[in-house]
Structure 1
Amino acid sequence: MKLNIGTLSHEEKQYYDAVWRMNSFSGLLGQQDIHYINHMEREPRRISVAKTAVSDLVRELPRDMSVGLVTARTCPRADVRGFFDMGFRNALLGQIQGLQPEGGTPLADAISRAGDMLDGRGRESTILVVTDGVESCNGDPCAVARRLAATKPHLKINVVDIGSSGGGTCLATATGGQVFTANSVSSLKLGIDRATQNVQVPAHCR
């Protein structure tokens, strides 16, 4: 899931973007990995906690900010769902709560689409990635991050790394962002909160 948050003014529009990984882990797993995944799949599951954390973030936004939603749930491409102003905030929350994992995660495409929607040249922009590090649609998220860093020097990517996989570290490294690890459902919510603390909003919204 990717969230774009900005003011309704086109000239002053600034965005906060979140790309949210929701599919299952893949690859070779040891007993310790399986124990961790089983723990994270118990209620409240990581997907439930992440939806709650993102919904709380949306509720705390200034009233004159519009919110865009893009989902990254199945190959080959992320799905742009459009923008929601304050009058449609409840509809946005309903879509967030209804999200479920599907047949893959086009993480690279979601990051690319997030980058295309952001300025990143004349003003600061941020993408938040919540991930276990697995791109499942044959994309290269690290290459996308390097391209964005080269073309949009004021865009950064913050990563909430589920399970300390290290797979999303290159996204933050390439763009000057930060990595926050999440090894439990409680630390997942904390990581999302910490990763969004320094997101810039227009001065009149503060």
Structure 2
Amino acid sequence: MQRIARDGVIDPQTVARLNARVALIKQHFPPSIANLFALPRTAEDGAVEWWTPLAGQPLAFASLAPEARDALLDSCRQRQQAIQLLADSLDASGRQEQAKTLRSLLATPDPQQLFSINGDPVLIGWGDLPGSPAAAPPSAADAGRRLWPWLLLALLFLLALLLWWLADNGYLSAPGERQPLTPAACRPAGAEPPEFTVVLDTSGSMELNIATSSAEERRLLHGGARLSPDHPDMRRLLSPPSRLDVAKQSFTQMIGQLHGDIDMRLITFAGCDNLVDHGIFPRSQRAQLTARIGHFEADGGTPLGASLQAAAKRMDGRQRDAVLVLFIDGEDGCGMDVCQIASRIARKQPRLRINLVNLGDSTESNCIAESTGGRVYSSRDSSEVAVLLGRATAEVAGNASCTAAGTPGSN
């Protein structure tokens, strides 16, 4: 995301309403349509900032050559016509409120609020903000003359939407096609570093001793024995070091080894019905990240499948390399098929690698790494876990081995 401009002060409710309109567009269109509208955010001083996911230099409409201006306006009109077509369709299906919301976006572009990013139009200051130009509906006299262009546009739009859906779901990708991922420390100068996300298991089973086997866990905790906390077997299961203690120590060491250009997103569990996205931590916030990890506690179920979906959704994996590390102690405990989810991710995001660090001895989740070209590391030895996590994060480490392109380091 990049900021295009700052504007006057608007209230948070207006910002939320405008973002909801863009979210409605995203339900029906590929990103190229929704990206016509820059996203408003409220700055700390109350000013509204306009942001876009498009990469490239924003060029004001007035700075463009005449031919570029005409092309930009034409591209803007095409996107608005597609939105108008969808609004008509929603009207016909009885969803008048959604249609009305979409039509509120069909204002005549103000040249002072129009930018070009690599030839794509981007509008700021849109919506029903003070000073926004009113929409200019087509006249009835023009309806017949414009009928055929609209029908042609409808067919082209439906075809484009179909192709986008097929590509987004991986059906236009060659099965098993996965390019080598170059570690951040080995990439050429100026090359974009990979995205990096970690899912840390904070479920209740992470409070068990690191040496606890799956068989012991099932027998003593899920077999109906209902042992008291004073029972010798329970005291042994709950004795230190716990799986979470070892995870915290290993993570602290791993964070210190990250490449300076890597920003890390962290996701944890809060039961089957809730995930916690702690956000992205750049290099300047790694001390805060380490401190936050130190306060985690183990509780609740294991929504591994849900966390896998959520993490992948927040990453590119198509145009940009991405690395996702799952630090877990077993399989999904919330009724989701992680193998099916991983297979779908592999089709949709061929540049996303998922590595698995498993503190248990179950192999049911190995399919996640196998489907996405990742690696599996498993151990119940506390002295080995930090080393294994280092191997699982070699693509984003500052000291990765570069003896072979795309080959992770060994530390």
User: Which TM-score applies when normalising by structure 1?
Assistant: 0.78
Question: Structure 1 pair 197/146, CA: closer, same or farther in 2 (3 Å)?
Answer: same
- The reply on whether 1:122 has 2:319 as its aligned counterpart is yes
**What's the CA shift for 1:46?**
2.0
Q: Could you tell me which amino acid in structure 1 is paired with residue 197 of structure 2?
A: D
Counterpart of 1:4 in structure 2 is none
Counterpart of 1:58 in structure 2 is 255
- The reply on whether 1:19 has 2:216 as its aligned counterpart is no
1:118-157 pair list within 5 angstroms = 118-157=315-354
1:53 alignment partner, SS class: helix
The CA distance in 1 between the partners of 2:396 and 2:263, in whole Å, is 15
Q: Determine if contact 1:130/1:159 at 8 Å carries over to the other structure.
A: yes
The CA distance in 1 between the partners of 2:233 and 2:345, in whole Å, is 33
The structure with the largest strand share of the pair is: 1
1:198 alignment partner, SS class: helix
The CA distance in 2 between the partners of 1:42 and 1:130, in whole Å, is 21
Aligned pairs, how many? Answer: 191
**What's the CA shift for 1:123?**
2.9
The structure with the largest helix share of the pair is: 2
The CA distance in 2 between the partners of 1:29 and 1:54, in whole Å, is 27
1:120-150, Cα deviation, whole Å (9 max, x unpaired): 1123222111223221222222221111001
2:215 alignment partner, SS class: coil
Counterpart of 1:7 in structure 2 is none
The CA distance in 2 between the partners of 1:58 and 1:81, in whole Å, is 15
* Structure 1: gaps spanning 5 or more residues: 1-9, 202-206
Counterpart of 1:74 in structure 2 is 271
**What's the CA shift for 1:96?**
0.8
- The reply on whether 1:29 has 2:176 as its aligned counterpart is no
Q: Determine if contact 2:268/2:276 at 8 Å carries over to the other structure.
A: yes
1:121 alignment partner, SS class: coil
**What's the CA shift for 1:160?**
1.5
Equivalent pairs: percent with the same residue? Answer: 28
Higher RCO (CA < 8 A, seq sep 6+): 1
1:3-42, Cα deviation, whole Å (9 max, x unpaired): xxxxxxx95463122222232179x835997699976753
Question: Structure 1 pair 163/177, CA: closer, same or farther in 2 (3 Å)?
Answer: same
Question: Structure 1 pair 189/87, CA: closer, same or farther in 2 (3 Å)?
Answer: closer
Question: Structure 1 pair 174/38, CA: closer, same or farther in 2 (3 Å)?
Answer: farther
Counterpart of 1:42 in structure 2 is 239
Q: Determine if contact 1:40/1:185 at 8 Å carries over to the other structure.
A: no
- The reply on whether 1:176 has 2:362 as its aligned counterpart is no
RMSD value over aligned CA atoms?
Answer: 3.1
User: Which TM-score applies when normalising by structure 2?
Assistant: 0.41
The CA distance in 2 between the partners of 1:19 and 1:106, in whole Å, is 11
Q: Could you tell me which amino acid in structure 2 is paired with residue 73 of structure 1?
A: A
* Structure 2: gaps spanning 5 or more residues: 1-53, 56-191, 209-213, 221-231, 399-411
